[in-house]
Amino acid sequence: MAQRQILFFLWPVRRCASLPVASRFCSSKQTTFILPQVNLENESLLENLSSMGVDLPSARRRQPGVLRKQLTNEQGLAHFLKSKGTDPETIASIISRFPRSITRTCAHLEERWTLWRNVFQSDREVVEILSRSPESFFRSSDNKNLQENLEFLMSLGITAKDLHRLLTTAPRTFSNSVELNRNMVELLQAVCLSLGGSDPQQFSRTIISRNLYIFIRSTNRIRANVDFLKSSLSLSPSEALTLFQSHGAQILDLSHESLKKNSESLRRKLQSLGCGAGDFKAMILNYSLVLFISSERLNEKLDVLMEAGIHAQQVVQKPKVLDFSLVSIRQRLHHLSRLGYDFQKSGIAVLDSSKKRFSAKMERLGSAEE
């Protein structure tokens, strides 16, 4: 505690203001000693925001500097958002979560909105994304970059539908610099070429379509994961090309440490169940998303399946059954065991089906007994 106070004293004043605990400390006599005027918040701005229902402590914690500005456009922003169909509570929430939004001019907002509307069918859609993630819309003030981004993304030849999915799912992609997005595409194409692929354009399109988060990951992460999967599974170039263009595209955005951890854990687990390196590889190639599941959860799922008399080999061949929740898996195993279902004879595919299909199957099995 004593150390924290010393730190506050040594830090520049703005650091204090970004910490909730310190705000009182900063406005006390200590502050006037360090920096007299500059640190003052704009009282009329505070009143304005407050009357709009903005959560001031939250705004202060996030972007303290905005509250000290003399020129802001909160009224213009509110009016603008309202005209697009945003309700007052949402507007307040947007400002509370991304205060810098009130520094944008009306002309800027109008322009940016028009650019977004190139991709979205209605104002309603944009409002939904805005209320979900104000930062995605407001973090950058560079409309020219946004324009170039749109042109760049379209130049990749991704379909209008995929562009829409991309920006609905990962709106931050819009606010990345074009260079950053371009770097990612170039990385993907380089990966394709290094694997002897013949169509790097198509390769990158496919990965983007299958992994909508790709642009909000760092190229370092993607590169590290690509290299790790290639080496840890000893993938041949064509195996790698196939994997990354199918379900493997999605596991690229796992944090590198998690990917390694989950991967090692699964390898050990399979080993303990009597499976070899070939089985490990086969399982990943069959359904690489098993690497998404945390090691504890995955181990538990495997244990539950083994206890039900299923062989590890069967799961290796059909890892998609691990895609279902533990609760679902347990329930289904319970139902099946009551019917005396024989997994060795009938396989485990029954576990990998929708609720509707599973129930229908149960009914057929049930009535067949009587």
Residues 45-64 that bind DNA (CB under 7 A): 62-64
Q: Which is nearer to DNA, 276 or 366 (CB)?
A: 366
Name the token pair of 228.
Answer: 């790790």
d(CA 26, CA 40): 10
Min dist CB 242 to DNA, Å, is 10
Among residue numbers 59 through 88, which ones bind DNA (CB under 7 A)?
Answer: 62-66, 68-69
- Report if residue 355 touches DNA, rule: CB under 7 A: yes
Instruction: Report which residue type is found at 267.
Output: R
Q: Which residue bears the tokens 């195996």?
A: 239
- Report if residue 306 touches DNA, rule: CB under 7 A: no
Q: Which is nearer to DNA, 63 or 123 (CB)?
A: 63
Query: 245, 201 in Cβ contact below 8 A?
Result: no
Site string for DNA, 88-127 (x = CB under 7 A): ---------x--x--x------------------------
- Report if residue 23 touches DNA, rule: CB under 7 A: no
Distance from the Cα of residue 80 to its chain's centroid = 29
Q: Total number of residues binding DNA (CB under 7 A)? A: 78
Min dist CB 189 to DNA, Å, is 17
- Report if residue 260 touches DNA, rule: CB under 7 A: no
Number of alpha carbons in the 13 Å side-chain half-sphere of residue 296: 0
Q: Cα dihedral sign for 341, 346, 348, 349?
A: negative
Query: 221, 258 in Cβ contact below 8 A?
Result: no
Among residue numbers 318 through 347, which ones bind DNA (CB under 7 A)?
Answer: 320, 323-328, 346-347
Name the token pair of 136.
Answer: 């995605």
What are the distances in angstroms from CA 35 to CA 8, 14, 31, 221? 14, 10, 6, 42
Among residue numbers 170 through 189, which ones bind DNA (CB under 7 A)?
Answer: 170-172, 175-177, 179-180
- Report if residue 14 touches DNA, rule: CB under 7 A: yes
- Report if residue 140 touches DNA, rule: CB under 7 A: yes
